[in-house]
Structure 1
Amino acid sequence: MTLSEKLAEYTVQLKYEDLPLEVVEFTKICILDWYGSAIAGKDEKPIQSIKELVEEWGGNEQSTLITGGKSSIGNACLVNAASSHIVELDDIHKSSIIHAGTVVIPAAIAIAEAYDLSGEELITAIVAGYEVCYRIGEAVSPSHYYYWHNTATCGTFGSAAASAKLLNLNVEQTAFALGNAGTQAAGLWEFIEDGANTKQLHTAKAAYNGVLAAMLARKNFSSASKILEGRRGFFESMSTEYNEEKITEHLGKQFKIIENSFKIHASCRHTHPAMDCVLQLAQEHNLTHENIVSIDIRTYQTVLNITDNPQPDSIYASKFSSQFCVALIAAHKSASLKDFTEESLHSPAIRGLMDKVTVRADPYYNGAYPEKWGAKVEITLENGMKYEASTDYPKGDPENRAEKDEMIAKFSNMVSDKVLSPDEEAATIFNLENIKIKNWLSKLSYNLANQKA
């Protein structure tokens, strides 16, 4: 069997009854976290641009747009996937370096609503989608990640697998879906140089392309049989080092979704290890930005590749600046959505502290990455005192878990100003296995249409 066929067989054979209670409940938290991120991002300008475009295109009213109203399945993927990625609070898997929620969940929800499927079917499909994209991401990382945005590339496979599951495709058709997902996989990191809107296009198209691949496969639209391992396939063309064994190792005997990490700070996950250390020291020693002389960060090279930006010029760019993020959390003792503002971006106190931040790669953290995303921070004060903190597991990792009540609190914080009832919405998601997705989203659509300005 080809690797695509093995992943297809796994996807087809997976049943809701196979899922341990822990996996079901954890998947609901993933859905809640995606939903909160999507609601929080829906009014951002890039999302409104995508919304305006899909309105110009038109489309059958099949699936709910997180921005309000309904459109086609594909259009819903574009809007909802982009919206859930823009506030930088979506989930992340360390060893594959993928934000699966922002790609797999909007695709699955759009199909589940359009075809009036159950919460049990949705949960099962999401588990399959996470499993497939995480395994592919692990196989090609970290070399793939230097040029390619794994969420966009590997995430396309996850969207296709979840969609294929919901469409009840057979093994051959599911392999077709994976093959045609792989040939569409794209997403280059160059946008980071400009702080461009492109990152939202990455998730939008990954969700959309996976659905497109599965919908065509339903019509027996064929694809390359060895899209992963073929001599002109995904591995050879997009990774300098890859490990095929990651695709099938313990496949069907574990559930990778529970390896998922969740963000607590509203910034790029690569900034979080150092931010956690700075926050710990600031709280333990009552530090303020006024008495700090220097902040020295030792971490892994990818942090520098993605977030070494000493002069961010927009709120969005500031979320990809280690210098800004550690200065912000030192000054505010918080880095939530409400802390990333124009005021904080131009704050003389924060800007002054940014000049005192150095970021260096360290052999220990380089060697541990991507299984561990760690950092060591040393803060020096005016009086010469030095304080150190380190972590291998920032808050939200499975090894440093954010508990259910913390995730509900995070959700409430993300949606509290969007005229929704956070407690009611959370309760609905934690009862998802007992409802039809269309019923849940019809209520959401009504709430969005009737929310106050």
Structure 2
Amino acid sequence: MEHTYLKPYASCRYAHAATDAMLALANDIPIAVANAEEIIVDVFPEALSITNEVAPPTREGAQFSIPFNVAVAASRGAAALRPLERSLLDDEEVLSVAKKVKLRVAADFEQAFPEFTPSRVSIKVQDVFYTHEIRLPVGDVENPMTWVQTEDKFWDLVRGQPAEIQRRSDRIIAACSDIAADFDLPARHLIVELG
């Protein structure tokens, strides 16, 4: 279990580095990403093997689209990718940003896969490029999600569920936290809550 990739987003792992880079950039640039002139996403060659539809008609298509995931991250934030809601497929702002995304293979990423799944996102704003590179996306074995990030993902996934599920979720998180604090603790309490 220590060498497990925990996906922070409900999308193909190939899109995660670009998503992380966009999330970082969206906080750093002086205007909304929707007003950017150009968005260039440098990827490793295998990343071009997924569908990468700019306006995917299905959630499955969206999950395998780097331009769409980058646009959701820029326009709606990380929580919108956990899970990816069907309504995003018709979101005008997301689709507008996705149309600006240009994918290209970066020479320095050509030999990266499978050890790395890197991406470099560059956003052009008023003739200035802002760039952020991610070699190991969050959730990778070498860059694991923190406890807080994992808990945030869990809460995003149960958002909008009935009150009983919310209470049960509290108990599951507490049981996991107890086990993480003391590995000698039996897992019975967690198993009961998951049952």
Give the TM-score normalised by the residue count of structure 1.
0.38
Q: Which residue, out of 366, 385, 406, partners 2:128?
A: 385
Q: Which residue, out of 135, 155, 159, partners 1:412?
A: 155
SS of 1:273 mapped into structure 2: helix
1:313 partnered with 2:57: yes
Per-residue deviation, 1:399 = 3.3
1:358 partnered with 2:102: yes
Aligned residue number for residue 343 of structure 1: 87
Aligned residue number for residue 427 of structure 1: 174
- Residues 398-438 of structure 1, C-alpha deviations (whole Å, 9 max, x = no match): 4333212321232233234253222211233454851459x
1:371 partnered with 2:115: yes
Aligned residue number for residue 47 of structure 2: 303
For 2:151, the aligned partner's letter is: I
Change over 3 Å in CA distance of 1:386–1:426 after alignment to 2: same
Distance 1:339 1:352 in 2: 21
* Structure richer in strand, relative to its length: 2
Residue identity (%): 25
Aligned residue number for residue 156 of structure 1: none
Q: Number of matched residues?
A: 186
- Residues 320-364 of structure 1, C-alpha deviations (whole Å, 9 max, x = no match): 111111111111133434673233211222212211111112232
For 1:290, the aligned partner's letter is: A
- Residues 215-258 of structure 1, C-alpha deviations (whole Å, 9 max, x = no match): xxxxxxxxxxxxxxxxxxxxxxxxxxxxxxxxxxxxxxxxxx42
Distance 1:288 1:271 in 2: 21
For 1:378, the aligned partner's letter is: S
1:283 partnered with 2:27: yes
SS of 1:316 mapped into structure 2: helix
Q: Is the 8 A contact 1:337 1:414 kept in 2?
A: no
Per-residue deviation, 1:269 = 1.3
Q: Is the 8 A contact 2:8 2:82 kept in 1?
A: no
- Residues 115-164 of structure 1, C-alpha deviations (whole Å, 9 max, x = no match): xxxxxxxxxxxxxxxxxxxxxxxxxxxxxxxxxxxxxxxxxxxxxxxxxx
Question: Between Structure 1 and Structure 2, whose CA radius of gyration is higher?
Answer: 1
Change over 3 Å in CA distance of 1:307–1:286 after alignment to 2: farther
Q: Is the 8 A contact 1:281 1:287 kept in 2?
A: no
Change over 3 Å in CA distance of 1:353–1:336 after alignment to 2: closer
SS of 1:282 mapped into structure 2: helix
Per-residue deviation, 1:444 = 4.4
Q: Is the 8 A contact 1:289 1:349 kept in 2?
A: no
Aligned residue number for residue 143 of structure 2: 400
Aligned residue number for residue 262 of structure 1: 6
Change over 3 Å in CA distance of 1:444–1:390 after alignment to 2: closer
Give the TM-score normalised by the residue count of structure 2.
0.82
Aligned residue number for residue 324 of structure 1: 68
Per-residue deviation, 1:281 = 0.9
Aligned residue number for residue 440 of structure 1: 191
Change over 3 Å in CA distance of 1:336–1:264 after alignment to 2: farther
Change over 3 Å in CA distance of 1:287–1:316 after alignment to 2: farther
- Residues 273-305 of structure 1, C-alpha deviations (whole Å, 9 max, x = no match): 111111111101244133211111111122110
Per-residue deviation, 1:308 = 2.1
SS of 1:412 mapped into structure 2: helix
Map residues 240-251 of structure 1 onto 2, 5 A cutoff.
none
SS of 1:298 mapped into structure 2: strand
SS of 1:386 mapped into structure 2: strand
Distance 1:272 1:396 in 2: 9
Aligned residue number for residue 71 of structure 1: none
> Which structure 1 residue ranges, 4+ long, deviate > 6 Å from structure 2?
none
User: Structure 1: any 5+ residue segments left out of the alignment?
Assistant: 1-256, 446-453
Distance 1:272 1:351 in 2: 19
User: RMSD across aligned C-alpha pairs, in angstroms?
Assistant: 2.5
Distance 1:288 1:267 in 2: 23
